């Protein structure tokens, strides 16, 4: 395979894997938070902030993957 094709593949795989892992983790966080809210609706305000925080921290790694994908793409 020529080099350009490999570069395109690499960038797609980088963001794809990062998004896959990140969404799995965020889905788990959201599911747990929703379950907590469903069991005790009054705790919504208290659950919401840590959930957003956890999601932001998970997401930061996905965004690092996104940046890497961009950097790989810049090598065309």
Partner 1 sequence: MRILLSLATVLFSANALASGGFTWLHGVHEKFGLGVETGTNFEHFTTFLLTSAIFIVGGLIFKFKTANVEKSIVPDKGVSFRNIVEFIGEFIYNLAKSTMGAKDARTYYPLLIFYFGFIFLNNLIGLIPGFLPPTENFNTGLALGVWIFIYYNAMGVKVQGLVGHIKHFMGPMIYMAPLIFVLEIISHAMRPLTLGLRIRGNMLGDHTVLAIFSDLVPYVVPLPFYMLGIFVCFMQAFVFTLLTMIYISMAVETHDHEEHAH
Angle at the Cα of 17 (from 9 to 49), degrees rounded to 5?
145
Distance of CA 37 to the CA centre of its chain: 23
Binding mask 13-52 for partner 1 (x = CB under 8 A): --------------------------------xx--x--x
Query: Which region, judged by CB under 8 A, interacts with partner 1, from 5-13, 22-30, 31-39, 63-71?
Result: 63-71
Of the candidate residues 9, 43, 64, 71, the single one contacting partner 1 (CB under 8 A): 64
Residues 32 and 47: their CA atoms lie apart, in Å, by 10
Of the candidate residues 17, 43, 53, 71, the single one contacting partner 1 (CB under 8 A): 53
56 near partner 1, judged by CB under 8 A: yes
Buried/exposed 58-70: b ≥16 CB within 10 Å, e otherwise: bbeebeebbeebe
């Amino acid at each position: 395979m020529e080099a350009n094709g490999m570069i395109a593949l690499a960038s797609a795989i980088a963001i794809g894997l990062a998004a896959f892992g990140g969404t799995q983790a965020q889905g788990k966080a959201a599911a747990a938070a929703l379950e907590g809210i469903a069991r005790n609706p009054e705790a919504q305000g208290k659950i919401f902030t840590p959930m957003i925080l956890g999601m932001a921290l998970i997401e930061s790694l996905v965004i690092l993957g996104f940046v890497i994908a961009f950097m790989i793409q810049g090598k065309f």
